[in-house]
Structure 1
Amino acid sequence: MVQLYWNRDEQAIPATAQKYGNYCTSIAKNILGNLEDAEECVNDTYLNAWNSMPPHRPGVLSTFLGKIVRNLSFNRYKYNTADKRGGGELPLVLDELSDLVSGKDDVEQEIDRKELVNTIDAFLDSLSPEKRRIFISRYWHTDSISEIALRHGMKAGAVSMTLNRLRLKLRNYLLERGFEL
């Protein structure tokens, strides 16, 4: 499918929409809580993908599209909440991670972003595949607890407990590696 973009074939967008439309819409809707805004972000994702390829050639198209739609959705969320509108899972997800993220603007205490990303990647690699999927579903895709429970054949309480334990484990992992939380 990436080759369609590189060839500037207009079928790239409909093919992308057919294969990845539900995936992108799910990410956007979980962040925004509004189908209309989500659909707009998904359409903007296709346009951004069209404008990015070439010169950028993504290794995994779904990840590439997921990152675009996620960033667009976060930007739309910021816009919506500035106008005291909003909804979705994002406030809950951000609240759950608030203890792990430094809110300080002090330059002396700012953590190098790349080092933090590498450390979190290493943490995720240390998890079992199921726990990694649960963590990513919640904190990357911003899926609701009930959606994750349904997908993994678990009870919502078990998912919540797993996420609580994973956040604590991540917190300890970061502290052990010298990050100030």
Structure 2
Amino acid sequence: MEDHKIIELYWARSQQAIAESEAKYGPYCRSIARGILDRAEDAEECVNDTWFRAWNAMPPQRPNILSAFFGKLTRNLSLDRWRKERAAKRGGSQVEVALHELEGCLPDHRRPDEELEASETAALISAFLRAQPELDRRLFIRRYFHLESIAALTERFGLTESQVKSRLHRTRQKLKLALEKEGIAV
């Protein structure tokens, strides 16, 4: 089913919206959740929560890109669950490693104007990524949005571990410079 028809089902408050979302985007959302969470049961629960959140968000929201909307919901729900589990365990998972890699090139958001700066920073990062070569952009998004492991990236893109790490490092360095150039304290 086409995305606009699925959105119309949500707006019409039809239960079929959830079934159609699951059929079209379930595997995509599961792959995001499984990349963040260790347990398949937790990932499945986050995907189910994605449909619930979507149900509550539409209306009033009308997403432009349904896959991105569902992906972001799933990612945020999965990260929330991961943080909750991490607080209890204090382990060093793949997610923690990926987020730690980004710390050096993203600004610290503890100032009062944090919301405004966060949206400006997000726009700058988006523009920066659009200007990068496709492979570097895809690696960056897969690593830092989907939180895929280095091993998964090497397999997905047919690169060596060293090539993936090097490309990610160079992209992070370029991002840091681009943000600093725009006056964002990193």
Given the two structures, how large is their TM-score scaled by the length of structure 2? 0.88
Cα pair 1:32 1:87 within 8 Å, conserved? no
Give the counterpart of 1:105 among 91, 107, 110: 110
**Deviation (angstroms), 1:108:** 8.4
Q: Distance in 1 between matches of 2:131 and 2:41?
A: 38
Choose 103-112 or 9-18, whichever is displaced more. Answer: 103-112
Show the counterpart of 2:94. Answer: 89
**Deviation (angstroms), 1:7:** 2.2
Show the counterpart of 1:167. Answer: 172
Residue segments in structure 1 that go unaligned for 5+ positions in a row: none
Give the counterpart of 2:49 among 44, 47, 65: 44
Provide the secondary structure at the position in 1 that maps to 2:46.
Answer: helix
Return the letter of the residue paired with 2:12.
N
- Superposed CA offset, 1:27-49 (max 9, x none): 11212222111111110001111
Return the letter of the residue paired with 1:141.
H
Q: Distance in 1 between matches of 2:38 and 2:141?
A: 19
Q: Distance in 1 between matches of 2:72 and 2:55?
A: 14
**Deviation (angstroms), 1:85:** 5.9
Q: Distance in 1 between matches of 2:90 and 2:7?
A: 36
Choose 115-124 or 39-48, whichever is displaced more. Answer: 115-124
CA RMSD of aligned residues (A): 2.1
Return the letter of the residue paired with 2:49.
D
Return the letter of the residue paired with 1:70.
R
Q: Distance in 2 between matches of 1:110 and 1:155?
A: 38
| Pairing 1:58–2:63 present | yes
- Superposed CA offset, 1:72-113 (max 9, x none): 111111211121266642101111112123447354899811
Work out the percentage of aligned pairs sharing the same amino acid: 43
Choose 8-17 or 59-68, whichever is displaced more. Answer: 8-17
Choose 149-158 or 85-94, whichever is displaced more. Answer: 85-94
